[in-house]
């Protein structure tokens, strides 16, 4: 408008239009048009001081607007909320708007008004989230603290925060750490708090949840994947360094820090239970407080949007189970948490997967379960299933001292007595199992009658050993009568040349 003012001043001074055009760099016809417009509006030089550039432009160039009947504007907050419903589009909402206001805005202007409204919202709310579709989860960078009653030292703990995408309904709790058991436990309690499950979980690239960060094929922790599958959800992590992928929870973390942690800054807590009880109270306040831009609370949005769309929870809560890999040793056992568990002996030297919970342990080979055991406590204990053992090992494992003695007694009393003597002579009866099994094999080779006779001779010799019985049988001594079974010998005749026992008695020779 500075050029317009200069043209009007020069024209008032009587300068020809052609010279004014050369001085201002506009065409002569434009100079004449500006002068005619000023005269038509009754403007003369000098212009009034209160006449601003905008007012001057309005007087010279703007045409008076023709009066129109005002069109009703749609409730854009309502439009924004309805778009979160499954299958709802702007075109559908525009048709519903026209049914109520036939003289309303056309589709292009309807969309433009909505875009203007959306630009006024916070950046984290620019995405349109479908009801019951996503839960965003993260940990707060600012940590609450617990005071040790004994030492008075402050110990920092973690704050887990999650939020439903459509309603912005928030869940938060304190945990000891970000380790796998706390991470999974917070998710289980989160699903209970929301009273339902969703289709997609969106975490950060925390090691407890994501083993390999990748924008295309991220690696998901096996336990986390199993937990999500239990609740009918999938895990799609946010991309590394892309906070907008989880902008909803980033905002919710900030809200939790302000309305929960800051609100509890003057309180002292001595246990995790006390802290979480206070956090639950503050969650009620946070979720029922109206949001500034939308004018409704998170609780109201949850009841209207997310709760009807959430999947029902499974009957049983997820039980934490960890996964690991193990190698099968030559004794067909795997070592898990300092205890040993058997697998079929055919898997010796193979690598297997182990899934273990607080009560149960499962072993899988190439995705197929091959063994299941009750979880052992302590260390150095064995869990062995007989069907996992080779036939020879199984037969050996089924023997016991009483059973071996019963077998020996079936062969004969001398055999049973010899077996009992072998087992009782050793510090541990198991140390005599091999000897007893060897004697059983001798019975199959030589027959039970000869074995019974050999055991009787071994008793007579005072050598209750497998080696003694074997030597008796191999040499055929079991067929010879014992000393006390020989015919009675005649007494030695009396003769002067035959020395008796008294001859060798020193007391009589002295």
Does residue 52 share a domain with residue 108? no
* Residue-number span of the structural domain to which 12 is assigned: 2-60
- Residue 281 and residue 346 share a domain: no
Given a cut of 70, is residue 442 above it in pLDDT? yes
Last residue of a domain, one of 309, 344, 370: 309
Q: State the DSSP H helix or E strand holding residue 273, giving kind and residue range, or none if neither.
A: helix 272-288
Tell me how far apart the alpha carbons of residues 368 and 285 are, in angstroms, rounded to a whole number: 49
What's the CA gap between 460 and 455, in Å, rounded? Answer: 9
Residue 323 lies in a domain: no
pLDDT at 125: 42
Same domain, 202 and 267: yes
Q: Are residues 354 and 412 in the same domain?
A: no
> Domain for residue 74, yes or no?
no
Taking 60 as the threshold, does the pLDDT of residue 452 lie above it? yes
The more confident residue out of 47 and 396 is: 47
List pLDDT tens digits, range 192-225: 999 999 999 999 888 888 888 787 788 888 889 9
Give the residues across from 352 on adjacent strands: 326
Mean pLDDT of 162-177: 92
| pLDDT above 70 coverage of the chain, percent | 88
Q: Where is average pLDDT lowest: 216-225, 383-392, 394-403, 463-472?
A: 394-403
* Whole-number pLDDT of residue 313: 93
End of a domain among 15, 30, 60?
A: 60
* Residue 252 · residue 163 · CB < 8 Å: yes
Do 113 and 184 reside in the same domain of the chain? no
State the maximum Cα–Cα separation within the chain, in Å, rounded to a whole number.
Answer: 190
Contacts of 78 by beta carbon, 8 Å cutoff, 6+ apart: none
> Measured in whole angstroms, how far is the alpha carbon of residue 62 from the centre of its chain?
66
Cα(200)–Cα(215) distance, integer angstroms: 16
In a domain, 12, yes or no: yes
Give the model's pLDDT for residue 505.
64
431 vs 308, more confident: 308
Q: Is the pLDDT of residue 450 over 80?
A: yes
Please give the mean pLDDT across all residues of the chain.
Answer: 84
pTM to 2 decimal places: 0.53
Q: Pick the residue with more confidence: 427 or 154?
A: 154
Q: Average pLDDT in the 185-196 region?
A: 94
17 plus 108 within the same structural domain: no
| Structure tokens given for 378 | 């302590």
**140 in the same domain as 45:** no
Q: Of the candidates 368, 394, 420, which is a domain's last residue?
A: 394
For residues 165 and 133, the answer to whether their CB atoms sit within 8 Å is yes
383 and 295 share one domain: no
Domain annotation covers residue 115: yes
The residue assigned the tokens 């499974």 is 314
Residue 387 lies in a domain: yes
Q: What pLDDT score does 32 carry?
A: 83
245 versus 252: the higher-pLDDT residue is 252
Task: Clarify whether residues 35 and 179 are in a common domain.
Answer: no
Residue 502 located in a structural domain: no
> Which residue shows structure tokens 């309502």?
78
In terms of Cβ atoms closer than 10 Å to its own Cβ (0-12, 13-18, 19+), residue 184 is buried
Considering the domain boundaries, does residue 504 fall inside one?
Answer: no
- The pLDDT value recorded for residue 425 is 84
Q: Are strands 210-212 and 322-327 parallel, antiparallel or unpaired?
A: unpaired
Q: What is the secondary structure of 344-369 as a DSSP string?
A: -GGGTT-EEEEEE-SSEEEEEETTEE
Share of the chain above pLDDT 90, in %: 30
Is 389 in the same domain as 403?
no
170 and 236 in a common domain: yes
Angstrom distance (rounded) from CA 159 to CA 179: 13
Can you tell me the distance from the alpha carbon of 169 to that of 63, in angstroms, rounded to the nearest whole number?
51
Do residues 206 and 169 share a domain? yes
Q: Give the number of domains in the chain.
A: 5
| H or E element that contains 474 | helix 466-475
* Whether pLDDT at 66 is above 60: no
Torsion of CA 475, 479, 482, 483, to 10 degrees: -70
Note whether residue 65 is domain-resident. no
CATH number at residue 50: 1.10.10
Task: Locate 327 and state its tokens.
Answer: 């190698």
């Amino acid at each position: 408008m500075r050029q317009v003012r200069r043209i009007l001043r020069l024209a008032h001074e009587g300068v020809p239009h052609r010279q004014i055009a050369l001085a201002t760099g506009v065409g002569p016809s434009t100079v004449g048009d500006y002068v005619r417009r000023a005269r038509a509006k009754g403007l003369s030089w000098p212009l009034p001081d209160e006449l601003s550039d905008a007012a001057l432009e309005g007087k010279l160039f703007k045409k008076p607007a023709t009066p129109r009947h005002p069109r009703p504007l749609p409730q854009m907050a309502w439009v924004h909320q309805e778009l979160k419903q499954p299958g709802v589009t702007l075109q559908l909402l525009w048709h519903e708007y026209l049914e109520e206001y036939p003289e309303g805005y056309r589709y292009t202007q309807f969309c433009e008004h909505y875009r203007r409204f959306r630009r006024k919202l916070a950046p984290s709310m620019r995405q349109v989230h479908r009801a019951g579709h996503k839960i965003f989860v993260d940990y707060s960078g600012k940590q609450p603290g617990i005071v040790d009653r004994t030492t008075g030292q402050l110990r920092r703990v973690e704050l887990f925060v999650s939020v439903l995408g459509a309603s912005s309904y928030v869940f938060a709790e304190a945990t000891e750490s970000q380790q796998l058991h706390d991470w999974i436990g917070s998710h289980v309690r989160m699903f209970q708090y929301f009273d339902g499950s969703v289709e997609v979980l969106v975490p950060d690239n925390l090691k407890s949840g994501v083993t390999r960060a990748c924008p295309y094929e991220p690696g998901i922790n096996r336990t986390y994947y199993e937990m999500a599958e239990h609740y009918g959800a999938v895990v799609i992590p946010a991309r590394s360094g892309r906070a907008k992928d989880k902008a909803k929870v980033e905002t919710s973390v900030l809200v939790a820090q302000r309305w929960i942690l800051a609100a509890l800054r003057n309180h002292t807590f001595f246990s995790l239970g006390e802290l979480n009880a206070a956090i639950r109270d503050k969650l009620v306040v946070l979720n029922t407080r109206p949001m500034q831009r939308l004018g409704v609370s998170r609780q109201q949005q949850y009841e209207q949007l997310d709760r009807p769309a959430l999947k029902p929870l499974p009957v049983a809560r997820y039980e934490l189970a960890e996964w690991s890999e193990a190698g099968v040793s030559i004794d067909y056992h795997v070592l898990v948490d300092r205890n040993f568990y058997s697998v079929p002996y055919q898997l010796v030297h193979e690598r297997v997967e182990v899934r273990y919970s607080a009560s149960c342990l499962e072993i899988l080979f190439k995705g197929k379960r091959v063994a299941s055991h009750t979880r052992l406590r302590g260390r150095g204990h064995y869990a062995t299933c007989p069907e996992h053992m080779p036939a020879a090992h199984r037969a050996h494992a089924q023997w016991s001292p009483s059973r071996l003695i019963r077998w020996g007694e079936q062969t004969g009393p001398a055999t049973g007595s010899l077996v009992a003597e072998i087992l009782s002579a050793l510090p541990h009866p198991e140390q005599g199992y091999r000897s007893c099994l060897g004697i059983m094999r001798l019975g199959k080779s030589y027959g039970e009658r000869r074995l019974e006779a050999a055991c009787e001779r071994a008793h007579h010799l005072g050598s209750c050993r497998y080696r003694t019985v074997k030597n008796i049988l191999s040499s055929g001594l079991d067929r010879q009568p014992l000393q006390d079974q020989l015919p009675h010998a005649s007494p030695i005749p009396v003769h002067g040349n035959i020395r008796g026992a008294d001859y060798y008695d020193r007391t009589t020779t002295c």
